[in-house]
Amino acid sequence: MKQPIVYIIDDHEIFLVGLRATIENSGLNVVVRTFVIPEELYRSMQEEEPDIIIADLILSISTGLEVILRARALLKNVKAILISSTKEDRIKEMCQKSEIQGYIYKSESEKDILSAIQTVLEGGEYYSEESGTEDIEVVKSYDKINPFSKLTKRELEVVVYLSKGMSYSEIAKQMNISSKTVNTHRVNITEKLGKMSLQHLIMKANIWGIVKSHNLYTNFKEKDI
pLDDT one digit per residue (tens) for the chain, 225 residues: 789 999 999 988 889 999 999 999 998 999 999 999 999 999 999 999 999 999 998 887 778 888 998 899 899 999 999 998 777 667 777 788 788 999 998 889 999 999 999 999 999 999 987 655 554 444 455 566 678 888 999 999 999 999 888 999 999 999 999 999 999 999 999 998 888 778 778 877 877 777 764 333 333 333 444
Cα-to-chain-centroid distance, residue 158: 22
The enclosing H or E element of 121 equals: helix 110-121
Coil, helix or strand at residue 112: helix
**Per-residue pLDDT at 103:** 92
Q: How far is CA 45 from CA 7, 10, 20, 28, 101, in A?
A: 10, 17, 19, 22, 19
pLDDT of residue 24: 94
Domain boundaries, the chain: 5-133, 147-207
Distance CA 160, CA 204 (A): 12
DSSP-derived letter for residue 46 is: T
CATH for 5-133, among 3.40.50.2300, 2.102.10.10, 3.40.630.30, 3.30.110.30?
Answer: 3.40.50.2300
Q: How many CA within 13 A on the CB side of residue 88?
A: 24
Cα–Cα distance, 171 to 177 (Å, whole number): 8
Q: Are 51 and 6 in contact (CB under 8 A)?
A: yes
Question: What CATH number has the domain spanning 147-207?
Answer: 1.10.10.10
CA geometry: angle 132, 138, 143, nearest 5 deg: 125
User: How confident is the model at residue 209, as a pLDDT?
Assistant: 73
The reported pLDDT for the residue numbered 141 is 52
Phi, psi (deg, nearest 5) at residue 39: -60, -35
pLDDT score, position 145: 67
Cα-based distances in Å from 178 to 174, 184, 186: 10, 10, 13
